[in-house]
Amino acid sequence: MGIISWIVFGLIAGLIAKLLMPGKDPGGFFITILLGIAGALVGGFIARAMGLGDIDGFNLGSFFIAVAGSILLLIGYRMVKR
């Protein structure tokens, strides 16, 4: 995937992660994009290490992995920002 695709995919994953995590979140639009992109990378790394799959394009499995990674990063981000 190209850089624009990663940004769009990360934005969508980050937005979904913020919707699934109730509460007030520090950070705005750019933090959401960064959390989504980093979450896709972290989720892909964890899924690959566990043998569950990899992020290989715009498909449902990659989307779930990216959102799960984004949620993990959002939890960590909230804990650090407290």
Asked whether the predicted pLDDT for residue 56 surpasses 70, the reply is: no
For residue 74 the two structure tokens come to 């959002």
pLDDT of residue 3: 64
pTM: 0.76
**Type of residue at 14:** G
Number of structural domains (the chain) is 1
* pLDDT grade for 45, boundaries at 50, 70 and 90: confident
The parent domain of residue 65 ranges over 3-81
- pLDDT tens digits for 17-31? 878 877 676 667 677
pLDDT of residue 15: 82
pLDDT of residue 53: 66
pLDDT of residue 2: 59
Q: Give buried/exposed letters for 39-56 (b at 16+ CB in 10 A, else e).
A: bbbbbbeebeeeeeeebe
Q: Rounded mean pLDDT of 47-59?
A: 73
